């Protein structure tokens, strides 16, 4: 009986703490979104256009044809990397 009362009291204390935390929740500040400096394609990460072009060539796909189909896809290769803070 005493053990059951102790367990019930501990559970009540835990749920009280959870309820207080949820009630007083504050938004988490989110830093600026990082600039993307790589292209993820076919489960691979390409950091420059030359490497991506070689991969496309190896898969018998024209770089120009890919670029026409994905005009915004190569924007990431023209961005300058952001300095680390």
- Report phi then psi at 66, rounded to 5: -60, -45
- Check whether 83 has a pLDDT greater than 80: no
Q: What is the H or E stretch that residue 7 is in?
A: helix 2-23
User: What is the per-residue pLDDT across 50-81, written as a single tens digit (0 to 9) for each?
Assistant: 999 999 999 999 999 998 998 888 787 776 65
Q: Is residue 68 part of a domain?
A: yes
- Report phi then psi at 44, rounded to 5: -130, 155
Domain count, the chain: 1
Q: Is residue 3 part of a domain?
A: no
- Whole-angstrom Cα distance, residue 36 to residue 45? 11
**CA quadruple 56, 61, 67, 72: dihedral positive or negative?**
negative
Q: Is residue 70 part of a domain?
A: yes
Whether 85 contacts 31, CB under 8 Å? no
Q: Is residue 72 part of a domain?
A: yes
Q: Is residue 62 part of a domain?
A: yes
* Domain residue limits at 73: 39-78
What's the pTM value of the predicted model, to 2 decimals? 0.53
Q: Is residue 25 part of a domain?
A: no
Q: Is residue 2 part of a domain?
A: no
Residues of the chain above pLDDT 90, percent: 31
């Amino acid at each position: 009986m005493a053990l059951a009362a102790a367990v019930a009291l501990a559970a009540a204390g835990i749920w009280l703490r959870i309820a207080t935390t949820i009630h007083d929740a504050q938004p988490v500040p989110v830093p600026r979104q990082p600039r993307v400096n790589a292209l993820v394609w076919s489960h691979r990460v390409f950091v420059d256009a030359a490497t991506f072009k070689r991969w496309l060539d190896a898969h018998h796909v024209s770089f120009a044809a890919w670029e026409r189909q994905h005009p915004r896809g190569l924007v990431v290769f023209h961005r300058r990397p952001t300095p680390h803070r």
